[in-house]
Amino acid sequence: MILNVSVIGLVVAIVGLFIAIVQTWISLRQYLESKKLPVVTEEQELRILRALVTETRGRALNTYKSSPYYRPALDSLKERGLIRQKGDKYYLTDIGEKVVRKHLADFLKRK
């Protein structure tokens, strides 16, 4: 009986160690991937990215397009590949989605 408890305890410890290693590896990969993302710090660009977060069907962004304040930011995001335009609608690219996701996660951690 004592031998069985010892074996069970050893198996639990090994499984726990394995889980901790996997979690650390995943966290490290996520951290390294986030460091490869483009950095967006301009408020106008961040506002445009946030405006597109849930827009799976795209968004026209007419106010941003016609505004001399936002238009350079809109063009910059397109040039950098963070958003794309199809017809009169704008969409987040995969990289743009990762950038805005990181931005929002960082913001929520500070709150």
Number of structural domains (the chain) is 2
pLDDT value of position 28: 79
Q: How far is CA 59 from CA 15, 46, 83, 89, 93, in A?
A: 47, 15, 11, 5, 13
Same domain flag for 69 and 103 = yes
Domain holding 50, by residue range, is 43-110
pLDDT value of position 7: 80
Same domain flag for 64 and 30 = no
pLDDT value of position 11: 84
- Cα gap 34→16, rounded to integer Å: 27
Same domain flag for 86 and 102 = yes
pLDDT value of position 43: 93
- Cα gap 23→18, rounded to integer Å: 9
- This prediction's pTM: 0.67
Low-confidence ranges of the chain (pLDDT < 70): 1-3, 30-32, 34-35, 111
Same domain flag for 58 and 91 = yes
pLDDT value of position 39: 81
Same domain flag for 54 and 103 = yes
